[in-house]
A and B are shown apart, each in its own frame.
Chain A
Amino acid sequence: MFKLLGYKRLFILLIGLICFIALMGLTLGRWGVMVWPANFVKDTVSWAQGMLYKPAGYVSGFFQDLRDLRTVYEENRLLRQTLFKYAKDTARLNELEAENKRLKEALAFTERQKQANNYRYHIARVIAQSPDPFNATIVIDLGEKDGIRENMAVVTSEGLLGRTTSVAAFSANVQLLTAIHDTGTDSKAIAATVKGREDVSFGIIESYDRESGLLAMNKIPQTDPLQVGDVVITSNLGQVFPPGIEIGTVVSKESGDFGIDYKAMVRPFARFHHLQEVFVVEVPDER
């Protein structure tokens, strides 16, 4: 090795190794707003990527549509049923909303409390997807100038997708749920509960198991009535994700690591590949 490299080269190589390890250690899990040269490079590249990603998606979508032509009839029937249900729900929702408003007035809610559940959904186009399997990141076309900040929840029409991490002026990176793990400092666990039993069930989604494609929900109390098939949503106890966003369904429940609590595996609703449009959730009350 010494003969092949020479002392001088080996020295430079080792210095390089030390510098890079230091750089990686220093930037690990600290995003914030990037320094301007990186910011500028990223925005420029993102702009070019945006021109390519969308047409590629359309072309690919066209062939997908041709393949799906056979299932269209069945799908149409299902959609009609859903639409009917939706109309029914909307009527009920209007009624409940009016009632909710009346009760809030009666209980003298402050303006801030009234606005707390009034999320704004920013629609964002996906402009690139990281080709690195260890780095589950997508780039979207909204940035700091559009009001995007770090740690905002990102959803698709199916369910929770991830959160924004590094934000440049006109683009931002989204860390997908598949990057959640419990060893490092770069991901945030999600406080979760069960839809319909928000005050009873609680657990923390701490890791994603890549081999099975499921999220692990830990620290579920023994008294919890959580069952297989329950819909898991974000809880209002978490500080990062706004409450009420659907995450997935419970597929199995077993004893936890130490036998004093339960652990459930959750199949996420959202799809993590072939993404076109996503929504960034802005909570009006900045905590």
Chain B
Amino acid sequence: MRRTWITLILIGLFLLEGTVMPWLLPASWQSEALVAPRFVFVVILYVALYSSRPLALAYGLIFGLLHDFVYYGPMIGTYSFSMGLSAYLVGLAFHRGQIRLLSSLCYICIGNFLLECVLFGLYRLFELNSLTFRWALVHQILPGMLINLLFALAVYLPIRKLLEKMDAEAESRDESFG
């Protein structure tokens, strides 16, 4: 049941990313600097940190694929791959019992940075971008990370509560079955 909620939240955020966010962000952040809102990915990272890693991997792959289909740019599979991989690696490296607010924000930063680097690398691999990494870092990656960090801070409490309830439900179900 709670899993359905998370899925619905992710779908909602996915829709917001491409429609409302371009209007909320100032014009200069979309021409001189290119700020990428990655709200879906932030929530997936929370799933990886507080809930289960395979679930985060599945969400990353599915929502990445959705992104690839809807904004079919140069090729299909970039987002599916990079979101799945980054979410899984973050879960693998940092998933522990209790994570406090500050460290979780730090991990989300790391996850975001990882995603941006994988994307940059993929587009570079297929010769689709000729930007230097330094320029991309200053104009795209760092401003984007700041916006995503603010979003992560804003949704920290509700998402964490939801995920904890979800896990508790899953555990009680396991006990009743076992």
Contacts and interface: CB of A to CB of B under 8 A. Distances in A.
Interface in A130-160: 130-137, 139
B20 interface: yes
A184 B128 contact: yes
Given A24-B126, A186-B73, 16 more contacts: A20-B77, A20-B81, A24-B77, A24-B122, A25-B126, A28-B75, A34-B69, A41-B69, A127-B19, A129-B22, A131-B17, A133-B34, A134-B128, A179-B74, A181-B129, A184-B128
A130 to B, nearest CB: 4
B78 to A, nearest CB: 6
Interface of A: 4-5, 13, 16-17, 20, 23-25, 27-29, 31, 34, 38, 41-42, 45-46, 48-49, 52-53, 56-57, 59-60, 127-137, 139, 165-166, 173, 175, 179, 181, 183-184, 186, 207, 210-211, 213, 272-274
Query: Sorted from nearest, which 4 A-B pairs have the closest CB atoms?
Result: A135-B73, A133-B34, A128-B18, A130-B71
Nearest to B88: A13
Given A132-B71, A166-B72, A272 B31 contact: yes
B6 interface: no
Contact of B74 (A38, A41, A184, A274): A184
A142 to B, nearest CB: 16
A42 B70 contact: yes
A272 B31 CA distance: 8
Given A31-B72, A131-B17, A165-B72, A60 B126 contact: no
Contacts, number: 154
B72 A274 contact: no
Contacts of A48: 15
B140 interface: yes
A52 B130 CA distance: 33
Nearest to B57: A16
B21 interface: yes
Nearest to B141: A133
A175 to B, nearest CB: 7
Nearest to B39: A131
A38 B69 contact: yes
A243 B73 CA distance: 25
A137 B73 contact: yes
Interface of B: 14-24, 27, 30-32, 34-38, 66-67, 69-81, 84-85, 92-93, 119-120, 122-123, 126-131, 135, 140, 144
A39 B1 CA distance: 29
Nearest to A209: B130
Nearest to B14: A45
B136 to A, nearest CB: 8
Contacts of B79: 132
Contacts of A166: 72
B94 to A, nearest CB: 12
B76 A23 contact: yes
A132 B70 contact: no
Given A23-B77, A49-B18, A134-B119, A128 B70 contact: yes
Contact of A134 (B38, B84, B92, B123): B123
A63 to B, nearest CB: 10
A27 B77 contact: yes
A34 to B, nearest CB: 7
A210 B131 contact: yes
Nearest to A22: B77
Contacts of A42: 69-70, 72
Contact of B18 (A4, A57, A129, A210): A129
Nearest to A44: B70
A139 B84 CA distance: 24
The listed residue with most A CB atoms (<10 A of its CB), out of B21, B81, B85, is B81
A41 to B, nearest CB: 5
Contacts of A5: 92
B66 to A, nearest CB: 7
A166 B76 CA distance: 11
A168 to B, nearest CB: 9
A166 to B, nearest CB: 4
Nearest to B16: A52
